[in-house]
Amino acid sequence: MSDWPNSLARKAIQDLKAYSARGKSTSALHLDANESPWAPPPADSSTSAFNRYPGQQPQDLRNRLADIYGVVPEQLMLGRGADEAIDILLRTFCEARQDKILLCSPTFGYFTTAAQVQGASITDVPLADDFSWDIPAVLNAIEAESPKLTFLCSPNNPTGNSLSAGQIQQVCQASVNGLVVVDEAYIEFSSQNSVIALQSEFQNLVVLRTLSKMYALAGVRMGVCVADPRIIALMLKVLPPYPIPRPVETAVMKALSPATIAVHKSRRNLIRTERDRVFAELQGSDFVEKTYPSDANFILFKAKNIDKMLGELRAANVRIRDFRSKLPDHFRISIGSAEENNIALSIFKGGTKTAVNKRTGEVFRKTNETDIAVQVNLDDPKTVKISTGIGFFDHMLEQIAKHGGLGLTLTCDGDLEIDSHHTIEDTALAFGAALKQALGNKAGIGRYGFVMPMDETQARIAIDLSGRPAFVFDGNFPTESVGEFASEMCPHFFQSLSQALGASIQISVDGDNTHHMIEACFKGVGRALRPAFAKVGGDIPSTKGLL
């Protein structure tokens, strides 16, 4: 229909002229919004614009999220969590005491709350006993009830299972007089792909995303609605003025800088691995009758011996989600860090504790020249992903990780259009700081490492994780560079690493080939770090009792 989607909206919204909020930021002298001319105290760069209203949809933030989700900015509405998008959808399209929504319980409770607040009626097509969707029943209900909004949560909360793209396509095809809203709050943890790509085929498909889960921004409150630009235009009429505070915009832009994405993905993979481990271990618990496979960052289970379970959880100050009011005897447990999961599992496994892995470090370092994210794991070498924009340097960092027996995720976006100096130096500083963080108090480590790798090149490496930075280098490179990597940056890298890690590093290298000499240095340092990082006991390896 030519008037779509206006014809779906409430009559009041069709005729509504949106409140005039400030659009894009400009350099004009703003005497139009009754703002204070001064920034709030204490005055510093972080609060310099707090006295001015933000854009209704901050353009830089909208562009960044559009890039992440693979859409154009006009397809996005940004709000205070995905909850606000649900509320705005109801207020835009559902007339009170006239229109209805469809949902499939048990599912996210705010679908019901928002409908009740708006005065929309609710058609419920419950999930089957195994928590699968009864798609034929959903299609029949859409034909009979003609809901304005059909809400599907995939992966579903609290059950954790996902709809297939084919099932969602069937629902979209049937919803000729309404919108299909797919809540993908947990999609990043799923093996399923987002259905955002289906919007090119189905203009009535709306997708909700959140930054609270994978991107660790629950306390910031940022959600995104992805839809046909015409749907977004209608929703923006209803959205209250200035929904994105400047501190929120700043926090999100910082957390979603290009350099951080590799670390977010690494964390996601850790959650998936931990989810599988927790799922397997819960099945043998005296408190668990049944566990349900999950595509999300939580696991639903049916409990037994409930009073004893809750008592032991309270005694350990561990909270899980109680769903007994909706699903008799059912609870949901979120997937935390390995250490947090071990604490919970020790309760479910009758006090049996598993080894705790604490030797990880994360550093995010942003300057005018570089934007760096580093994640290291001294006890799990499986993941090594490096991108600095300098191919040879990436290869050298990989040598440290592989020969050092550590996991390394590192991304650097640097000013390579000037030269490689800042990228290499700042990477060393961030990498060293992450290693230092992962080592903690250094209890039980080997502390010392030394190696002498040989081919036509000889590199002699000695390392002491003493906490006292010192660096000695002896060697002369035959050529000035290897590709874009300047030879002089090899000792400079290790000097910066020594400072940030708090280690004594001594390197002596001889040879005739610059490539081989630099590679021997990096491989040798990795090999020397391996025994220095290794856990060989429980004591701090120092007569002083402190490193």
Parent domain of 234 = 56-256
Taking the C-alpha atoms of 194, 195, 197 and 200 in order, what is their torsion angle to the nearest 10 degrees? -160
Other Cβ atoms closer than 10 A to 299: 23
Q: How does pLDDT run across 186-201, given as a tens digit for each residue?
A: 999 999 999 999 999 9
Of the listed ranges 42-56, 140-154, 247-261, 482-496, the one predicted with least confidence: 42-56
3-state secondary structure 410-472: EEEEECCCCCCHHHHHHHHHHHHHHHHHHHCCCCCECCEEEECCECCCEEEEEEECCCCCEEE
Q: Is residue 222 part of a domain?
A: yes
Kindly give the pairing relationship between strand 360-366 and strand 370-377: antiparallel
Q: What is the mean pLDDT of residues 336-344?
A: 93
Report the distance separating Cα 348 and Cα 281, nearest Å. Answer: 8
SS3 480: coil
Q: What CATH number is associated with residue 311? A: 3.90.1150.10
- Which pLDDT does position 397 carry in this prediction? 98
Number of residues assigned to the chain: 547
Q: Report d(CA 418, CA 330) in Å as an integer.
A: 59
In three-state secondary structure terms, 536 is: coil
d(CA 439, CA 527): 17
Provide Rg for the chain, Cα atoms: 28
Q: Are residues 366 and 341 in the same domain?
A: no
> Last residue of some domain: 256, 281, 296?
256
pLDDT at 196: 98
**Residue 6, domain member (yes or no):** no
Q: Which H or E element spans position 134?
A: none
pLDDT of 171 reads: 98
Mean pLDDT, to the nearest integer, of 214-218? 96
pLDDT greater than 80 at residue 457: yes
Is the Cβ–Cβ distance between 396 and 423 less than 8 Å? no
Quick one: pLDDT at residue 358? 67
Query: What CATH code is carried by the domain that includes residue 250?
Result: 3.40.640.10
Point out the domain boundary residue: 256, 282, 317: 256
Provide the pLDDT for residue 455. Answer: 67
Q: For residues 540 and 547, give the distance between their C-alpha atoms in angstroms, rounded to a whole number.
A: 7
Q: How confident is the model at residue 516 (pLDDT cuts 50, 70, 90)?
A: very high
Q: Residue 366 carries which DSSP code? A: E
Domain identity same for 309 and 247 = no
Residue 3 falls inside a structural domain: no
Q: Tell me the pLDDT band of 29, cut-offs 50, 70 and 90.
A: confident
C-alpha span between 183 and 12 (Å, rounded): 26
Q: Which two tokens stand for residue 52?
A: 């001015």
In a domain, 381, yes or no: yes
Mean pLDDT, the chain, whole residue set = 93
Establish if 544 belongs to a structural domain.
Answer: no
- Side chain identity at residue 90, one-letter code: L
How many angstroms from the chain centroid is the CA of residue 504? 35
- 359-391 exposure pattern, b = at least 16 Cβ within 10 A, e = fewer: bbbbbbbbeeebbbbbbbbbbbbebebbbbebe
C-alpha closest to that of 504 among 493, 516, 495: 495
Range 173-183 average pLDDT: 97
Domain boundary among 290, 319, 348: 348
Angle at 345 between CA 333 and CA 267, to 5 degrees: 65
Distance between first and last Cα of the chain: 73
Buried b / exposed e over 17-27, threshold 16 CB at 10 Å, is eeeebbeeeee
**Do residue 271 and residue 326 come from a single domain?**
yes
Token pair for residue 169? 């396509």
Three-state secondary-structure class, residue 180: strand
Specify whether 303 is located in the same domain as 414.
no
What pLDDT is recorded for position 42?
85
pLDDT of residue 353: 58
The answer to whether residues 239 and 170 belong to one domain is: yes
Judged by DSSP in three states, 314 sits in helix
- The average pLDDT across 488-509 equals 97
Q: Do 238 and 274 reside in the same domain of the chain?
A: no
**Per-residue pLDDT tens digits for 237-295:** 999 999 999 999 999 999 999 999 999 999 999 999 999 999 999 998 999 999 999 99
pLDDT tier for residue 374 given thresholds of 50, 70 and 90: very high
Residue 35 covered by a domain? no
> Does residue 541 lie within any of the structural domains?
no
Model confidence at 338: pLDDT above 60: yes
What tokens does 215 get?
Answer: 């991107």
CA–CA gap between residue 277 and residue 289 (Å, rounded): 17
Percent of the chain clearing pLDDT 90 (strictly above)? 84
What's the rounded Cα separation, in Å, for the pair 312 and 307?
9
pLDDT at position 57 is: 95
| 234 and 281 housed in the same domain | no
Q: Please give the structure tokens belonging to residue 425.
A: 């130096």
Residues 93 and 219 in one domain: yes
CATH number of the domain to which 427 belongs: 3.30.230.40
pLDDT at 354 over 70: no
Given a cut of 70, whether residue 10 has pLDDT beyond it is yes
Task: Mark whether 242 and 267 lie in a shared domain.
Answer: no
Establish whether the linkage from the previous residue to 126 is cis, with ω within 30° of 0.
no
- Give me the number of domains the chain comprises: 3
- For residues 129 and 235, membership in a common domain is answered with yes
pLDDT average, residue stretch 78-101: 97
Residues 284 and 250 in one domain: no
Same domain, 422 and 385: yes
Q: CB of 434 within 8 A of CB of 375?
A: yes
Residue 543 inside a domain? The answer is no
